[in-house]
Structure 1
Amino acid sequence: MESDFLIIGSGIAGLSLALKASRLGTVNVITKKEEVDTATNLAQGGIAAVLNSEDSFADHIHDTLKAGDGLCDEKVVRMVVENGPERVKELIALGVKFVKEKDGNLSLGREGGHSKRRVAHAYDLTGREIERALIESVEQNKKISLYENHMCVDLITEQQETTQREISQKRCVGAYVIDELGTVKVFLAKIVVLCTGGAGKVYLYTSNPDIATGDGVAVAHRVGAAVSNMEFVQFHPTCLYHHQAKNFLISEAVRGEGAILVDENNNRFMARYEPVDMELATRDKVARAIDTEMKRTGADCVYLDISHKEKAFLKERFPTIYEKCLSLGIDIAKMPIPVVPAAHYLCGGVKTDIHGRTTIDGLFALGETSCTGLHGGNRLASNSLLEAVVYAENVFRYCESNWPSIMQLENNNCYHYDNADKEKIDEEILINHNWDVIRRVMWNYVGIVRKESRLMIAQQRIVEVRKEIEEIVEKFQITPNMLELRNISLVASLIIEASLARKQSKGLHYILDYPAVDVGESD
């Protein structure tokens, strides 16, 4: 199957680019599951941008740089922030219904790390609302073909001769893709874009959907693309702690509206850790405080209390959270919500330039899959949806400017993936056991607070597991479950390697061996 663009992933980044790219040529979008099963769809908070006169670009830039703990690329931060308002207007034009005040202006929320209210939202269903509008537009576009239940196995690259130097250089020309029946197909394109989301499923507890297995980072790394900042895994401070709730997030906007963190004895504890910003400190600091408090007391969770607010306000502002908690016997208007930190966002990823280009020709990366330099050591809340739409525009503008030369690219090679001749795996326990081992090792040894000795133990165990996984992949017909296992094992390895390489506590990487050493950024 051939197209001008092959977009792997169907979140806000992938669908935004698909709509823009369709102005230039044909677009194939492949997505692992159903079209709405994405991290975008689960995003509760909103999209951060300077949207009223009380805010400023300078303030948004300052907040982003502060959250990133000195590791953001300031030029990238400035570019993203200054392009934010226009991209939000574009979403509104597409039909996204952000909540408005009675005067017609956007209702803006505030989240941790933000000095102003600047988060446009659709109550606590923002991601779902954005995804709805994008999917409706995509389905009406005849130049876009959406392939659900299709997963990227590996990227296809070919060697090309450069004109300036007589050396060979890789160019990405497509991908091997497995469908729900187990058939591996070849998708070829002039431009390939990775928008597969994050890697939360590398950890035992996560707010991410089940599809967040780091596929984009893994397939890019396997063909030699550079990755960066993989040690910076953001743990959301407040994931609902309940045996019937798998990965339900309690939005940071709840703290933005005045919720406080308390222990089981109803004692507010953030003053011991962040006496100035308290519950509105950046995510890394709040998550670390909760982790420390739980370890100090031996408690299984802490509590988020917003019961001092009126029930009517809570039902209107947080309808999804209110109903979900109530269904589990938790009336948030009367009692605190049990919460724990959970793996939430990968700040690192496939390294890109300002145009979204990776170090492999023809291969781009967007959204959580990418590492653009915006987030540095810690992502500022609600900057991720902003980054996705801004970089979708950047990729489109780059392709538009270079379209005559892109259209001249040819690929006359034949590609085939040998899968049918191998025997089928008949014992899923081979996959499930290793899946569980990886996630528990990462949670116990490579979590919110790290130590070099624990990282080295984790590295050794993941090496052993990866060897067994590669033997399984080599022997049996590949399946989506097998591919996801292979990918999380590689991503786990990359996170550990980056964590060992950074001899300092910085941003989300808090390591007891080096509490205040500054030796620069690791790749």
Structure 2
Amino acid sequence: MPELNTIKVDAVIIGSGLAGLLLANELVAAGRRVLIATKGKLLESNTRYAQGGLAAVLKDTVTDSRQAHLKDTLKSGAGLTDAAVAEQIINGGAALVEKLSSLGVHFDKTSAGAPSLHLEGGHTSPRVLHSKDTTGKTIAEGLAAALTAKAADEHDLNRPVIFEDAFALDILHFQATPLAPRVATGVLILTDKGIVSVAATYIVLATGGAGQIFTRTTNPSVATGDGIALAARAGAKLADLEFVQFHPTAFCKEGQPAFLVSEAVRGQGAILVDDRNHRFAFDFDKEGELATRDTVAKAIHQTMLNRNLDSVFLDLRPIGTAEEIESKFPNIVETLKKLGVDATKEVVPVCPAAHYYMGGIATDAKGQTSLVGLYALGECAATGLHGANRLASNSLLEAGVMAMSLAKHINSQSFKAIHYKKNAKLTEAWLAHCRPFAVPTNRDALKSMMYKGAGLVREAKGLTQLQEQLDAISIYKTGIDRYERESANMLLVAKLIAKACALRKETRGGHVRSDFATPNDSAFLHHITFEKGAWRTQSIAAAPFISTERAVSLARP
């Protein structure tokens, strides 16, 4: 058994994307003791790979407003967006941009000094702030620099603790009585020096998505659904697990990565064509290439089937001259050249790839889960903002506004006693009775099964077969091997997605069923949730979490 160490902090944050880094900066600035752990390097997250930008209305004008942004978000969400949550997050956009600016993150401006705004699919006005085509990288680097500067200050007794290459094994939790709520007390983290048991008042999951459970994904290697699996094992409520967004335009060439070609290029004039050079997107929707992502992805998929194609083609040349294209999208042009395509001179082969997870851990707008003390932020959370299909560039908005809301909540609270002794007992019990866990016999097989059976288009026979296949490749292990633990998280999330896809017998947003090709509001205008082994339906009007104020009072010993 690896060496065991213990540590006590006010807040432990798992994940280092926009949500995790911003929350850490805000809590440290307010005098809170913080530990942030990431399983790769501090800059390795889904945030870093976000190209398009951050959707936000900084000020209501005659051409755009927060209400218009809300209307676009509701339309994209296909009936499952929580309007109250969406309004709260959208209204927080201007403050988020101001906060990021104060931490050294700056967005592009026009020659007149005004914010440069892109138009993206599903938006009725240009409102996407950006930093060329590497917006996520700019945000991640700015926030990481601010946090590491605080960590490097040896004179600051409250400097944050940063764990890199650290893997979260499990959330520690207890239930005082059968009627009392479950309380999270800490988290076990595997580091290169052994296991660290971190006791904290606030345990925050900011672990990103789960794209790596599919063969084709735009996500980095760290996106294996860890936070969702941690929450599921702890008994937290999950929601909307069937809704995976497949980005329409990922580079599509055998043997090459599914590099994301940002939606912003279509907002600037790029078009989609088939092998006949026919601009087909308008055959499916009057908005053409600027329809919502689910619509464009389905149009590409159907065109590939109709024409027996391995891909369709994205033509950036309508944007302007080669110099103009390179000036607006330098990273995209440079990366595509490395992949063998000069986007300033020729069309780019593209097809859909797993990109973003609308489902996840059920929370409110500040990240509170159904467990006292456990929070989830960003992509691993299911707030109801995205509904059945995320509107372009609302992801960074959500992650940032949620982080600011949770920071405000925590910093408004008095310093609370940490369940240190209870956490120590739970740690001892976990290590003494390390339960067997299911892992796939072959990760690549799992990813291939998921892409085929629960990819962009699903149907009953394929989903039944998928669930049987996932069970067939499951074997049980014990121990603390990181690769096996990560594989177990992937398998658990894959099984949850497959089951949720089978339960929703309709097509809605990012969930497409070939055997139930249309929405069915009378039977399925609700959320599907999973909690403690049970699947349930939940009204779109119901909050996805328990009353936290009452829960806290019940949970205290």
Question: Using a 3 Å threshold, how does the CA distance of structure 1 residues 497 and 328 change in structure 2: closer, same or farther?
Answer: closer
- Structure 1 letter corresponding to 2:190: I
Corresponding residue SS for 1:141? helix
- Give identity over the alignment, percent: 38
Query: Please, which of 176, 191, 195 is the counterpart of residue 188 of structure 2?
Result: 176
Q: What CA distance in whole angstroms lies between the structure 1 residues aligned with 2:387 and 2:71?
A: 13
- Aligned positions of 1:325-474 closer than 5 A: 325-404=336-415, 407-413=416-422, 414=424, 415-416=427-428, 433-466=441-474, 468=475, 471=476, 473-474=477-478
Number of the residue aligned with 1:10 = 16
Q: What CA distance in whole angstroms lies between the structure 1 residues aligned with 2:392 and 2:331?
A: 19
Q: What CA distance in whole angstroms lies between the structure 2 residues aligned with 1:392 and 1:104?
A: 28
- Aligned positions of 1:495-510 closer than 5 A: 495-510=497-512
Query: Please, which of 119, 123, 137 is the counterpart of residue 128 of structure 2?
Result: 119
- Structure 2 letter corresponding to 1:291: H
Q: What CA distance in whole angstroms lies between the structure 1 residues aligned with 2:106 and 2:401?
A: 19
Corresponding residue SS for 1:59? helix
Displacement after TM superposition at 1:237 (Å): 0.5
Q: What CA distance in whole angstroms lies between the structure 1 residues aligned with 2:176 and 2:108?
A: 50
Query: Please, which of 296, 318, 324 is the counterpart of residue 306 of structure 2?
Result: 296
- Structure 2 letter corresponding to 1:482: E
Number of the residue aligned with 2:491 = 489
**TM-score (structure 1 length as normaliser):** 0.93
Question: Using a 3 Å threshold, how does the CA distance of structure 1 residues 268 and 151 change in structure 2: closer, same or farther?
Answer: same
Question: Using a 3 Å threshold, how does the CA distance of structure 1 residues 432 and 317 change in structure 2: closer, same or farther?
Answer: farther
Displacement after TM superposition at 1:254 (Å): 0.7
Q: What CA distance in whole angstroms lies between the structure 2 residues aligned with 1:171 and 1:431?
A: 27
Number of the residue aligned with 1:152 = 168
Q: What CA distance in whole angstroms lies between the structure 2 residues aligned with 1:341 and 1:514?
A: 21
- Aligned positions of 1:178-257 closer than 5 A: 178-180=190-192, 183-243=194-254, 245-257=256-268
Corresponding residue SS for 1:403? coil
Displacement after TM superposition at 1:499 (Å): 1.1
Number of the residue aligned with 2:91 = 82
- 1:344-364: CA deviation from partner (whole Å, max 9, x where unpaired): 000010000233110011000
Question: Using a 3 Å threshold, how does the CA distance of structure 1 residues 265 and 31 change in structure 2: closer, same or farther?
Answer: same
Q: What CA distance in whole angstroms lies between the structure 1 residues aligned with 2:498 and 2:192?
A: 32
Larger deviation, residues 306-315 vs 229-238: 306-315
Number of the residue aligned with 1:68 = 77
Q: What CA distance in whole angstroms lies between the structure 2 residues aligned with 1:464 and 1:130?
A: 42
Displacement after TM superposition at 1:62 (Å): 0.5
Query: Please, which of 32, 41, 48 is the counterpart of residue 39 of structure 2?
Result: 32
Question: Using a 3 Å threshold, how does the CA distance of structure 1 residues 432 and 220 change in structure 2: closer, same or farther?
Answer: closer
- 1:209-262: CA deviation from partner (whole Å, max 9, x where unpaired): 000000000010001000000100000001112346323110010111111111
Displacement after TM superposition at 1:420 (Å): 11
Corresponding residue SS for 1:34? coil
Question: Using a 3 Å threshold, how does the CA distance of structure 1 residues 369 and 421 change in structure 2: closer, same or farther?
Answer: closer
Larger deviation, residues 374-383 vs 152-161: 152-161
5+ residue gaps in structure 1? 423-429
Displacement after TM superposition at 1:498 (Å): 1.2
Displacement after TM superposition at 1:418 (Å): 6.9
- Structure 1 letter corresponding to 2:11: F
Instruction: Tell whether the 8 Å contact from 2:439 to 2:488 is kept in structure 1 after alignment.
Output: no
Number of the residue aligned with 1:425 = none
- Structure 2 letter corresponding to 1:326: K
Number of the residue aligned with 2:482 = 480
Number of the residue aligned with 1:426 = none
Q: What CA distance in whole angstroms lies between the structure 1 residues aligned with 2:149 and 2:255?
A: 38
Number of the residue aligned with 1:56 = 65
Instruction: Tell whether the 8 Å contact from 2:185 to 2:419 is kept in structure 1 after alignment.
Output: no
Question: Using a 3 Å threshold, how does the CA distance of structure 1 residues 312 and 280 change in structure 2: closer, same or farther?
Answer: same
Number of the residue aligned with 1:315 = 326
Displacement after TM superposition at 1:266 (Å): 1.5
Instruction: Tell whether the 8 Å contact from 1:176 to 1:417 is kept in structure 2 after alignment.
Output: no
- Structure 2 letter corresponding to 1:349: G
Corresponding residue SS for 1:185? strand
Displacement after TM superposition at 1:433 (Å): 5.0
Displacement after TM superposition at 1:512 (Å): 2.2
Question: Using a 3 Å threshold, how does the CA distance of structure 1 residues 10 and 294 change in structure 2: closer, same or farther?
Answer: same
Corresponding residue SS for 1:416? helix
Number of the residue aligned with 2:27 = 21
Instruction: Tell whether the 8 Å contact from 2:388 to 2:509 is kept in structure 1 after alignment.
Output: yes
Instruction: Tell whether the 8 Å contact from 1:177 to 1:185 is kept in structure 2 after alignment.
Output: yes
Instruction: Tell whether the 8 Å contact from 1:431 to 1:481 is kept in structure 2 after alignment.
Output: no
Instruction: Tell whether the 8 Å contact from 2:14 to 2:168 is kept in structure 1 after alignment.
Output: yes
Question: Using a 3 Å threshold, how does the CA distance of structure 1 residues 243 and 271 change in structure 2: closer, same or farther?
Answer: same
Number of the residue aligned with 2:551 = none
Q: What CA distance in whole angstroms lies between the structure 2 residues aligned with 1:132 and 1:417?
A: 39
Number of the residue aligned with 1:93 = 102
**TM-score (structure 2 length as normaliser):** 0.87
Instruction: Tell whether the 8 Å contact from 1:28 to 1:144 is kept in structure 2 after alignment.
Output: yes
Number of the residue aligned with 2:548 = none
- 1:498-519: CA deviation from partner (whole Å, max 9, x where unpaired): 1112122111111122223222
Displacement after TM superposition at 1:419 (Å): 7.0
Number of the residue aligned with 2:532 = none
Q: What CA distance in whole angstroms lies between the structure 2 residues aligned with 1:403 and 1:387?
A: 26
Instruction: Tell whether the 8 Å contact from 2:8 to 2:420 is kept in structure 1 after alignment.
Output: no
Q: What CA distance in whole angstroms lies between the structure 1 residues aligned with 2:41 and 2:335?
A: 22
- 1:256-307: CA deviation from partner (whole Å, max 9, x where unpaired): 1111111122221112211x10000100011111111112222111110012
- Structure 2 letter corresponding to 1:19: N
Instruction: Tell whether the 8 Å contact from 2:185 to 2:418 is kept in structure 1 after alignment.
Output: no
- Structure 2 letter corresponding to 1:200: G
- Structure 2 letter corresponding to 1:502: R
Instruction: Tell whether the 8 Å contact from 1:186 to 1:416 is kept in structure 2 after alignment.
Output: no
Q: What CA distance in whole angstroms lies between the structure 1 residues aligned with 2:377 and 2:446?
A: 26
Q: What CA distance in whole angstroms lies between the structure 1 residues aligned with 2:33 and 2:433?
A: 33
Corresponding residue SS for 2:110? coil
Displacement after TM superposition at 1:158 (Å): 2.1
Number of the residue aligned with 1:284 = 294
Instruction: Tell whether the 8 Å contact from 2:199 to 2:418 is kept in structure 1 after alignment.
Output: no
Displacement after TM superposition at 1:36 (Å): 1.0
